[in-house]
Homo-oligomer: A and B are copies of this chain.
Amino acid sequence: MISEYFSAYEDLNIHKLMLTDTVRVKSYKDAILSNKELFKDSIVLDVGAGCGILSIFAAQAGAKRVYAVEAAGSLTPMIKKVVEDNNYTKVVQVIVGEMESVIIPEKVDIIISEWMGFFLLHEGMLDSVLFAKKYLKPNGIMFPEECSIFVSICELPHYFDEWNDLHGVKMDEFGKAIRLIAQGKPEIGYVSKDYLLSDPLEIFRFKPLESDQSKFRKITAKHVVSAKRPGKFQGVCIWFDVKFPIPTGNVVLSTSPYGPETHWKQTIVVLPHEILLEDHEPVAFELTFFRMQRRNYQITFELHETDGIEHPTPCDCHLARCRVIKAFLAERPDDPA
- Residues of A bordering B, CB below 8 Å: 1-2, 5-6, 8-9, 12, 15-16, 19-20, 22, 25-26, 29, 51, 53, 56-57, 60, 78, 81-82, 85-86, 158, 162, 166-174, 177-178, 180-181, 184
Contacts and interface: CB of A to CB of B under 8 A. Distances in A.
A76 to B, nearest CB: 12
Contacts of A22: 167
Interface centre among A5, A158, A162 (most CB of B within 10 A): A5
Contacts of A85: 170, 172-173
A171 to B, nearest CB: 6
Contact of A2 (B5, B16, B81, B180): B180
SS class of chain A's interface: helix, strand, loop or mixed?
A: helix
Given A19-B171, A19-B174, A60-B168, 16 more contacts: A1-B180, A5-B181, A8-B177, A9-B181, A12-B177, A12-B181, A16-B174, A16-B178, A19-B166, A20-B162, A22-B167, A29-B167, A53-B171, A56-B169, A57-B169, A85-B173
Nearest to A171: B82
A165 to B, nearest CB: 11
A25 B304 CA distance: 41
A25 B167 contact: yes
Given A82-B174, A158-B20, A174-B51, A5 B180 contact: yes
